[in-house]
Structure formats: C-alpha cells, structure tokens
Structure 1
Amino acid sequence: MITVERLTKRYGPFTAVDDVSFEVKPGLVTGFLGPNGAGKTTAMRVMAGLTPATSGRATVLGKPYAALPNPGRHVGLLLDASAQHAGRTGREVLTLGAILMGVGKHRVDEMVELVGLTEKEANRRVRNYSLGMRQRLGIAHALLGDPEVLILDEPANGLDPAGIRWMRDLLRGYANEGGTVLLSSHLLGEIERVADEIIVIGHGTIVAQGTKDELLAGAGTYARSTDDDALLAALAEASIVAQRTPTGGLQVEAEPIVVGRVAVAHQIVLTELRGADSRGLEEMFLDLTADAAREEVAA
C-alpha cells in the first residue's frame, strides 16, 4: 500500500506537486500518468525518500520510506535506469545490492534469469549496456529483495516489443500475487493493457483517478463528421451539449442514436459515431491534460 496525503512540493516560486492525495492498493497495477513536467517524477521521488515534501506526506506500507527497516526488502525502486555504476558489471551491481539487503546471492542468479539477461550480458560492464539492458538490470535490482511494493518510473523505455510484453506479464503476475505496483509510463497503450487503476496528474494536481473502466466509460458519444462545425451548430440548435476534443471530433452529451438523427436531419455525413466508453486511454488522457501538455519545467 502506498498512501499520499495532501502532498505538496515547491521549488522556490514553482509548485511541482500541489496538494495531491491518492492511494495505491495491493494486488493492483496502478498507472500514474501525466505530460512531461506534470509532477509524476517529483511525487515518486518523495515516495522514495529522495526528495523532501514541502508539506503533506507519502507513506509506503504505513511508514515514510526512510523509516522502513532495510527498505529494499519492502520496496523495489526504478526511477532512473541510467543511475547505475557504469564501471561495474550487471552481476556486480546485483551482488552488491544483495549484500546490502542481506539476501542470499542465489537471488542474483534468479533475477538475471528472470529479466532475461544472458550470462555474457550479466558479466558485461554497465557502460556497454543498451538502454533496454539497463532497464532490465534496473528491474532486476528492484525485485532483488522480493519487495511487497514496486515504484517504477518509465520502466519500458528502451525495451523492444518483446521486452515490453515481458514486462507487462511480469507486473501483472506480481500484482496477482498481492504486490503493489505504481507504474509511470508514456506508453499509454501498455498502461491500458496492464493497469487496474489510473491516476492522471497535470500541473501538479490530480485531474482524474479511478479504475480503468470508470475513467474510460465516459458518458455520451464521440462523433466525427465531414463538417464538425455544422454538426456542432446542429447539436446546439437541438439543445444538445457538445464540445470539440483535442484530437478532433466532438464529445456529445447524448446517446449515439440521438446524434445520428440530428446528423441525418441536417444532411451531415458522419465518419465516426460511437459511445464514449470506447474512446481509449489516449483520447481520455489528451482530453484531461490538454492544458498541461506543454509545461516547461520537467518534474
């Protein structure tokens, strides 16, 4: 369990995270989404004890990360796959982690096999790793202590399609066994496939949270036509509320059959007409974060 309560982090006049509250529950994969600079990484760094909060708090398993005894045995972290000693081999990185956590060295062999590093790759120096190999090593290190909680920031960066599928299956299996997973990723399709719950952040505040089905099952209809201006006017004339979406087309507060009848009455050709619940995570994400998509300060 991860609990974030009224968390705020300021850097001088800039507020990276603004009064944020949410829970990440055991047995579920929770997707943490937001455009660059929205506050995702800052919030995750506070959870991991790397950045102090200005106010509020974040706890993992009921305690601040720094108060956990031997935290690597309870929480697996991957916040930056590049933050690994370039002069050591992958096996040396994992062996040192095992010594510090007090786990048997057999875990090193288990993790090397689990993440799909060959023996030759495991004995190669990290400076010679590709980004995908660094990600696999980072995931191996996060899982080394057999933790109850995983906090992963963009773990799929650099992975090929087979690697992304492997990671998705790994996280799904981990959650199914009762683990808690907080996953940040810009690969919205992967989040849609693996996440049970979703938290969307923009301008440092939570703009939406809930189960995937709840967030994707928006009321109303999505419509696109050969003349959206005319369709918008026709809907307004019929006292039906509609608005443009950032990705084009209209979001309409009416059932598809009603929108279709209005289009027919005004001889407007519809090119797409469907319930809003089938719009997908990408469109939902763009709708919710349209005004936060070009923030200047990365967080």
Structure 2
Amino acid sequence: MKSFQALFIEKEADNTSLHFRETTLDNLPENEVTIEVHYSGINYKDGLAVLPDGKIVNEYPFIPGIDASGVVVESKSARFKAGDEVIVTSYDFGVSYFGGYSEIIRVPAEWVVALPKGLSLKEAMILGTAGFTAALSVDALEFSGVTPDAGKIAVSGATGGVGSLSTAILAKRGYSVVASSGKKDAETFLHKLGAKEVVPREAFQPEKIRALDKQLYAGAIDCVGGKPLSYLLTAVKYGGAVTTCGMSAGGKLDTTVFPFILRGIQLFGIDSVLCPMPKREGIWKRLATDFKLTNLNELATEINFSELPAALHQIMNGGITGRYLVKIK
C-alpha cells in the first residue's frame, strides 16, 4: 500500500509539537483490521494529548485521536471484511496505541464496532466518544427510573461535547433540561439543542455546599466533576440519580452520605473506555434509533485534516462550543 498522511505529536525537552508526516503500514502496529479513515473528531482527551504534561501520551512520536470511522481495507478477523463501514473508539486507541488522526489505521478486531444501520460514517464521528458517553449517561438515568415527568434534569458543562450531546438526547427523549455553561454566548446554542433553561456556571457552584440543599432536579448529568458534582448531589430530589463522566472542574468530590441515605440518590460513574462490547454495540444502536438526533449536522463544526493542529490547541483554551468533526479522507 502506498504511503499516507498522519498527524504526529513529537516531544523535545519539555515541549511538544504537531507535524503531518508521510508514513506507511510498516510503521503501524501489527494487528487484525486495517481501516481507511474517513472521519475523526476532537475530544478533551485529544487536547490533553497535545500538552507536554497532559499525562496522556507516554512515548513519542505518537499519532493521537481517540475516535475514527471508516471502511475496512483488510481484515484477518472473521467479524469483518473489506468494505465494511466501522467505528473505532475507546480502549487504548489514541492514548497508548496509535490513534485516528491518520488516513490509515490498524487495530485489534475487538475494538471495532460495525456501523449501525441508521448512522453514516460522518454522523458517527459527530457523535464520537462524546456522543457515546452522553448516550451512556442518558441510558443510566433511564435505567435508574428517572422519567421525563419526574422533573428537571441538570447538565453541567453543557457546551462541551458530552454536555451538548447529553442536552440534545435528553430533549429528544422528552426531558426538561437545565443546562449550565461558563460561556457568555452559550444561551442561543443550548436552547437550539433543546435546553429549557440556561444558567451560568456559578449556579452549580454555590459558595457553600450544604449536606442537603433544595430538591430542584429529578436527576443530573455531570460532565465536569469537582464542585458542581458535589452540589448537584445535594440538589437532586428523593429517588433521583446523577451520572458523572468528567473532571475538568476537579477530581475531588466533597460530599456526605446524606443524599444517598436520606434521599436514596443513585450516583452512576460513566466509563466509555472499557465499556463491554455487548453494551457498547447496544448504545451505538440506540444512537442510530431512539437516541438519533435529526439535526446532527448542525451540532458540529467540520474542519479539514490540515486544520486539526490549530483546533487541538483551541480546545484546551476553552474556545470550542459543541463538537468538531475532522474530515480525514
């Protein structure tokens, strides 16, 4: 196979840099499924990978990108054949194993999900890990018994990838969403996604967090961790549920047992990385059916492969609202 382009992170001393390089299959890890990548996306973890102290990449040079969708070129697995449309996310992909910012990738068969009927390769990457995590979060709320008629659902970090897609999926499912964001221009964007109310970031970060606060929400999807999660646990109604999947506001959780033993609150940790394949396939199927968003193309900014380095730096400066779709092919 002829050479192809990939985006490499390189490190010298305490600085990292991004460079497009021509490479070949011989430079990719040996594995079962070879895929021509059509689309990828940008996630917070991808931005961290660019930082010298991001604690994502251990060995350089490295190809980042935790998401990819494309077409199988060659397969040594009976599960896939040339021409199959597929999705690759999670596991070590783009973290300790060459990722999706490459025109060709080669990965283990057990990391590959067949593109479900009802989704295009482009739509799958508008969703990507962010959409998959959002769908896991909404699925957990539904599993807990929180229904649309139970009351409002709070979403923290709502202009980020997971938060924006959680807001949109919740709205589609009939939930009334209260979305928070630190971005001044976020209100129009979040209302367009279906949020009923938009509140400033400070609304979920009161100066003093009580052991139990007013019961304002039937449930919450927390995307940032830290103080907002600590508060939301105190503000959810009896029998409600909270999901958590991020830590951009901090990894420390300051709470008490009272929301759990006096209000019966359930706290769900959402992990997209090692989610078992049967569950993974089921969630992707929901994203193509009852979670399917009709305005997906409006939720992402599409950029060319050549524009990717600038966008990766931008995400770490808080300059991205919603999703960025990267057209690789």
Length-normalised TM-score, structure 2: 0.23
More helix by share: 1
Structure showing greater Rg: 1
Q: With CA pairs under 8 Å and 6+ residues apart, which has the higher RCO, 1 or 2?
A: 1
